[in-house]
Structure 1
Amino acid sequence: MTALPDWMRPPRAEGWFAEDLDRLPEAPRHTELIDGALVFMMSPQRWWHGHLVTMLTVALMEQAPPNARVGREMTIKLDQRNRPEPDLLVTTAAFEGDRTWFTPEEVRLVVEVVSPESAHLDRTVKLRKYAEAGIPHYWLIEDEDGAPVVHVYELDEPTRAYTPASIARGTLQRSVPFDIALDLKQLTPPRRT
């Protein structure tokens, strides 16, 4: 067994803090901080996942109003010990080229596309953490025989928990966080038979 590289050792006994992610150039892409621990997915990304995120990003960018921006692969600093990186987000923050994270108050929608290695985090841990941070809208996208199924959640402010708003197959129409109309079948290429 080989020794851990120095960059993987927490800088303090309490573990990692949100600012530490910006000082880890050796860390793999898409490294997240969950409860003070570094989390990174080492398995290769599936083509379905990457294609879906790209197509959804473009579709939402085309429909977003001027005060909303769509981004991907950006972290959200939920608190000092949590800085997850959703697959996609909608923010009201002004564009700043050197920025590496957003605050929960700047994020209107978080989208996670479930993959086998992220399923537990996306369906339970992140669902709870994004809600507790006050992010108003959460979409969880599952692969159902090659077709995207969007589980739409809205924040219940008094409890700081998400409540299911809808499950979309085929098409998705929402009026929040802005008017959105998506043909979900157009987000993924048809599978060969």
Structure 2
Amino acid sequence: MTAVPEWMRPPRPEGWYADDLDYLPEAPRHTELIDGALVFMMSPQRAWHSRAVSALLITLLDQAPTGVEVEREMTIRLDDRNRPEPDLLATRAPFYDPNRTYYTPDQVLLVVEVVSPESAHRDRTVKLRKYAEAGIPYYWRVEDEDTSPVVHAYELDGPTRAYAPSGIHRHELRTSTPFPIEIDLDGLVPGAR
């Protein structure tokens, strides 16, 4: 048994805070903060996941209107104790900041999580609830269904601060929210079929 590295020990009894992530250079690249606990993405990603994220990034970048930016793997500072890192997010940030390490919920229009075996529970339940409570208008959960991407889309119900399912998209996705988007889902992951 090896000793836990000193940097992994919380700086205070109640755990970590969102701003602590900016001061952990030893932490693995994809480290999230959920309820004050560090969550590491340690298992290798499957090729399907990587291709799905890359293809969605390119597609969303091509279709995003002026003033909307699409980012890959940037954290969202939901509150003092939560800073998850979605696979993709579309933002309406007021300006480009090359030193930015996170966005705030009011800047985020859409969050996209591509489900992998290690993130399935968090993506389907924990993050679904946390993104809604933070007021993020749209959430997509992308599942691998026989190597074809299936998008489970959610829209925020403002008064309840909960997501309502707005559709399950197979083969193609057409939506006008948060901006006009058309995606050939069957052709999204090259070599998958």
Q: Which TM class, normalised by the smaller chain length? A: over 0.9
Q: Distance in 1 between matches of 2:44 and 2:167?
A: 30
Cα deviation, 1:129-173, whole Å, max 9, x if unaligned, reads 000000000000000000000000000001000000000001000
Q: Distance in 1 between matches of 2:8 and 2:43?
A: 18
Q: How does 1:153-168 map to 2 (within 5 A)?
A: 153-168=154-169
One-letter amino acid of the structure 2 residue matched with residue 48 of structure 1: W
One-letter amino acid of the structure 1 residue matched with residue 39 of structure 2: V
Residue 31 (structure 1) aligned with residue 31 (structure 2): yes
Partner of 1:138: 139
1:190 deviation in Å?
3.1
Residue 64 (structure 1) aligned with residue 64 (structure 2): yes
Change in Cα spacing, 1:69 to 1:10, as seen in structure 2 (3 Å) is same
Q: Distance in 2 between matches of 1:72 and 1:189?
A: 19
Partner of 1:12: 12
Q: Distance in 1 between matches of 2:192 and 2:153?
A: 25
Kept after mapping to 1: 8 A contact 2:48/2:192: no
One-letter amino acid of the structure 2 residue matched with residue 109 of structure 1: L
Q: Distance in 2 between matches of 1:191 and 1:65?
A: 29
Question: Which ranges in structure 2 are unaligned for 5 or more consecutive residues?
Answer: none
1:41 deviation in Å?
1.7
Residue 191 (structure 1) aligned with residue 192 (structure 2): yes
Cα deviation, 1:22-62, whole Å, max 9, x if unaligned, reads 00000001100000000012110111001110110000000
Q: Distance in 2 between matches of 1:177 and 1:9?
A: 40
Partner of 1:147: 148
Question: Which ranges in structure 1 are unaligned for 5 or more consecutive residues?
Answer: none
TM-score between the two structures when normalised by the length of structure 2: 0.98
Q: Distance in 1 between matches of 2:115 and 2:92?
A: 25
One-letter amino acid of the structure 2 residue matched with residue 54 of structure 1: S
Partner SS state of residue 61, structure 1: helix
Residue 112 (structure 1) aligned with residue 113 (structure 2): yes
Partner SS state of residue 152, structure 1: strand
One-letter amino acid of the structure 1 residue matched with residue 165 of structure 2: P
Partner of 2:98: 97
1:187 deviation in Å?
1.3
Q: Distance in 2 between matches of 1:142 and 1:2?
A: 36
Give the alignment's Cα RMSD to 1 decimal: 0.8
Query: Once superposed, which parts of structure 1, at least 4 consecutive aligned residues long, lie more than 4 Å away?
Result: none
